[in-house]
Structure 1
């Protein structure tokens, strides 16, 4: 049993398929080269495909090759920053036609967060998928492989000798109660009832871009959310923007 800290890492995100890459190289080497050189991200290629499919006579498989030069190769016609593709993305976001951004998804490993946070996080259901470490199958006894449950200390407790002592004593008490129940033959699925909201858990979460923007708008700093989940919101934003920089403006505006 030990205090733990949050760790968030992007483990996968939307990428173009090998077949699409092959066709793009055959049909428009200029755009192919820009994607290879990361001047255009794969997420942007997917976004343009989804958005223009709604308005174009071209087939979805043709849009990047036939329209990419127009959108990615010219300055934004609205006088804003970036290319005309950036202008189109801004227009879609402003007009709330963001179903077209649901095709871009991100999968995260989220480690060392409290069960209290998990209860808040899983209220966001549309566009999210969760696989969570089970307290039923992962035994949390002191003598089990886990070594007991880890826990998250709230910031409001840290820095105070008295508060921290009270909090850590409570964690030890919960562990002792769990161990005692298990020693009496109580199965892990029932003994877990005495574990606290501070008990740490790990999960894999997948969400599309639209869902993440909605989540961030509600959980970002300044919205009155609990500190731990605002830290998660910021960590998710950083991971997304690192691989899809063009999304930064949307996180700033929600």
Structure 2
């Protein structure tokens, strides 16, 4: 029997703002930052960085905008480079290799560290079933049969090939790597993988716009919505123009308010 898994996302790091250090900078330069309300560290850092560009601090130089209004003004003016100062690191599990093949196309502002099928034995791999297939019992049965056949062949190839006689390398480590690399060729795109993703706010916003409501890709939509639920807590001002909408089939998608 194969194991079916589901998307899980853990936040490993989030925006951090050393306010005391910034206050020392302001005092040394005779500046006074008027902050309205209690802001998250992410939103505070964005505003601080933006104001440094013009040294627009204090009663006479601040326009009276709230933090959310200030950040949205930056976004509307196209000054989104300021958003690159805050980053998150996430650990994604329960996602498919098909998903990560698409995800890693997002390069600017993203960094990745993914489970290697060359070094990791996939004999006990889990798999991700698409909802469109899961909704159909007949299709689910045929899908599972195909997955089980692929996994069985992978295990057979791993055990049948004599490592000591495997062509190519003197190092046992590299021979094993070569063997797993060859055997992984029959594993399906549905094979579950694990990936650590670090991205800044500007890159995440672009990802949400491109993938959050993309038709025909349930996994991208699901991951985008799950990430949004976390980043909006840490920087609500940065992601204030996004919201989650529920589709007719019950799945979630991200809606972006254009201006």
What is the TM-score when the length of structure 1 is the normalising length?
Answer: 0.79
- Corresponding residue of 1:198: 190
Q: How far apart are the structure 2 equivalents of 1:107 and 1:69?
A: 38
SS of 2:12's equivalent in the other structure is: strand
Alignment partner of 1:253 is 2:250: no
1:238 aligns with 229
Measured against aligned partners, the alpha-carbon deviations of 1:100-129 in whole angstroms (never above 9, x if no partner) come to 111111111111100000011011000000
CA–CA distance in structure 2, aligned partners of residues 41 and 70 of structure 1 = 23
Identify the match of residue 217 of structure 1 among 209, 213, 216: 209
1:145 match = none
Find the counterpart in structure 1 of residue 118 from structure 2.
136
Cα distance, 1:225–1:136 mapped onto 2, change above 3 Å? same
**Is the 1:12–1:106 Cα contact (8 Å) retained in structure 2?**
yes
1:16-64: CA deviations, max 9, x gaps? 2386277379889x979x79xx81111122112221222227xxxxxxx
1:55-91: CA deviations, max 9, x gaps? 227xxxxxxxx549975xx853xxxxxx1x3222111
Residue in structure 1 matched with residue 152 of structure 2 by the alignment: 176
Change (3 A) 1:99 1:26: closer
- Counterpart in the other structure of 1:56: 55
Query: When you count helix as a share of all residues, which structure comes out higher?
Result: 1
Residue of structure 2 equivalent to 1:79: none
More strand by share: 2
Does the aligned pair in 1 maintain the 2:110–2:197 contact within 8 Å?
yes
How well do the aligned residues superpose, as a CA RMSD in angstroms? 2.8
Which aligned runs of 4 or more in structure 1 are off by greater than 4 angstroms? 24-28, 66-71
Structure 2 gaps, min length 5: 164-178, 243-255
- Please show how residues 61-140 of structure 1 align to structure 2 within 5 Å: 66-67=57-58, 76=65, 83=66, 85-140=67-122
Any conservation in 2 of the 1:130–1:204 contact (CA below 8 Å)? yes
Answer whether contact 2:33 2:58 (CA < 8 A) is retained: no
Q: 1:44 to 1:172 in 2, by over 3 A?
A: same
